[in-house]
Amino acid sequence: MSEELERHKLQTFLEELKRKSGRGTELISLYIPAGRPLSEVMDVLRSEYSAASNIKDRTTRHHVLDALTAVMQRLKLFKATPPNGLVIFAGYVAGDVPGDEKLEVYVLEPPQRLKVWLYRCDSRFYTEILEDMVAVKEAYGLIVLDAGEAAFGVLRGKSLEVVKEIESGVPRKHRAGGQSARRFERIIEQLTHEFYKRVGEYANKIFLSMPDLKGIIIGGPGPAKEEFLKGDYLHYQLKEKVLGVFDVGYSGEAGIYELVNRASELLKDVQYVRERDAMNEFLYNLARDTGLAVYGEAEVRKALEAGVVRKLLISEALRWGKARYACKACGAEGWAPVEEGGVVRCQACGSPNVDVLERVSVIEELGKLAESSGAEVVIVSTETGEGRELLRVFGGVAAILRYRWQPAAPAQ
C-alpha cells in the first residue's frame, strides 16, 4: 500500500480510536520502542497485572485484568520487537448502554521508528504519539510584495494559510508642487527602505520559529521582490532557505495563491499542489469531453477493474465501506455495507447482533484496486474549493484514464 494510503488509513483509525472511551480508567495504551526486549515488557505487564489485582471496584478490576491478559497474549505472537517498535491498545470500550462494554484489542507497527516507552491505563486511548507521526510537518513560507503591499502565507500539507497582509504606506503618485523631484525621490527611497524592513521583520517573526520550514518562495508583480531579497532585510537563515523568486500578477492574498501556481514545479510533492493539479487535470478533461475523465463510485470501479485508470482521485471525507461479520442470531457470515459509525447488520436475517471481523473503507478498497494496476492515488481533502467540489458534485470519486474507454455492454 502506498505511503499516502497508509497515512490516511492510520489517520482514520486514530480518529475512530479517539472517539472510544472506557467506563473508568480501564483502557490500556502500550508503546514499545524499537529494540526493547519483549521479555522486559512482559515483566512490566506482569507487575501491572499484580497491581491491578488489588483494584477495589470489581468490574474495573475484571476489565483491566482482561485487557492486560489480552496484551500479553498478543505479545507472545512476536519473537522480537518489530523494527519500528510496537503499539497495542486494549480495553473494554463503553457501548450505548451501561454494561454493554466490549473488549477491543488493536496491534500495529508505527510508521516511524518509535523511541519512547509508554504504559498508560486511562479512560481513553493515548493516541498523541502516533498522531504526531502522521502529521505533516514540512512547511513552506510564501512572501509576495510590490511597492504598495505585502502578504505572507504558509503552505503545509493540504492547507494554505494567508497569515498576514501589510500595506507599505509608500505614495504611488505625486505632483511636484513646491518640492523638487530629487527630494521626493529620496523620501520615496526612505519609505521603501522602511517598508522592506517591516517585510523582513514580519517574515522573521513568522518563519524563523518554524522548526520544519523546508523553504521560502518569494513573488510579486514588479522589481520590489528582487530589491527586497538583495537587501539586508531577511534573516540570513531564511535567506538560505529561499528556493525561488517568481513574477506574479498580484500582491496581497491573491498573489499568495498565484505564487503557489507559479511555483508548482518546486512544490510538486506538496499534498496541496498534488491535489489541486490532479483536480484541474480532471476538470480540464471533463470540460473538453476528451473521454479521459470519469466519476462516480460505480463507473470508476469499472475503470479500475479494467486497468485503464491513470490517476484515481478520492475524497478523504468518504466514510463508508464494508464490514465482514459473523451473525450471532443465524450463524451466517459475509460482507455488509456500512457507514461510518453505522450499525452492521446481517445480510441474511437483518439482525444487528453480529461480530465484526474486519472493516474495509471505500478509500482503502479502491486504492488497492488502483495500485494493483499501477494507477496513482490522490486522496483529496475538503479544505480547498476543488476538494469540496469533488465531494459535492462528483460523489467523492473520480479518475483520469490512460486512454478513451467504454465499459463493455452487459450480456443480453
| Residue-level pLDDT, tens digit, the chain, 412 residues | 577 788 888 888 898 899 899 888 899 999 999 999 999 999 999 999 999 999 898 888 999 999 999 999 999 999 999 999 999 999 999 876 666 788 999 999 999 899 999 999 999 999 999 998 888 778 999 999 998 899 999 998 888 999 999 988 777 655 555 556 677 778 778 888 899 999 999 999 999 988 889 999 999 998 999 999 998 899 999 999 999 999 999 888 999 999 999 998 888 888 888 898 999 999 999 999 999 999 999 899 999 999 999 999 999 888 888 888 999 989 999 988 888 767 888 999 988 888 888 888 889 889 999 999 999 999 998 888 888 999 999 999 999 999 998 877 655 5
How far apart (Å, rounded) are the C-alpha atoms in residues 20 and 260?
39
What pLDDT, on a 0 to 100 scale, did the predictor assign at position 29?
A: 97
What pLDDT, on a 0 to 100 scale, did the predictor assign at position 211?
A: 84
What pLDDT, on a 0 to 100 scale, did the predictor assign at position 14?
A: 92
Starting at the edge strand found earlier in the chain, the sheet holding 376-380 runs 293-295, 397-401, 309-315, 376-380
- The residues, ordered by sequence, that sit 6+ positions from 110 with a Cβ below 8 Å of its Cβ are 84, 85, 86, 87, 129, 130, 133
What is the pairing mode between strands 139-145 and 213-220? parallel
Query: For residue 32, what are the β-bridge partners?
Result: 86
CA angle 135, 137, 141 (to 5 degrees): 140
Does residue 154 contact residue 148 with C-beta atoms inside 8 Å?
no
What is the pairing mode between strands 376-380 and 309-315? parallel
What pLDDT, on a 0 to 100 scale, did the predictor assign at position 42?
A: 96
How far apart (Å, rounded) are the C-alpha atoms in residues 56 and 27?
17
Q: Three cell numbers at 152? A: 505572507
pTM of the model: 0.72
- Residue-range domains of the chain with CATH: 3-131 (3.30.960.10), 139-176+189-269 (3.30.420.60), 278-401 (3.30.1330.30)
What pLDDT, on a 0 to 100 scale, did the predictor assign at position 342?
A: 77
What pLDDT, on a 0 to 100 scale, did the predictor assign at position 409?
A: 61
What pLDDT, on a 0 to 100 scale, did the predictor assign at position 384?
A: 82
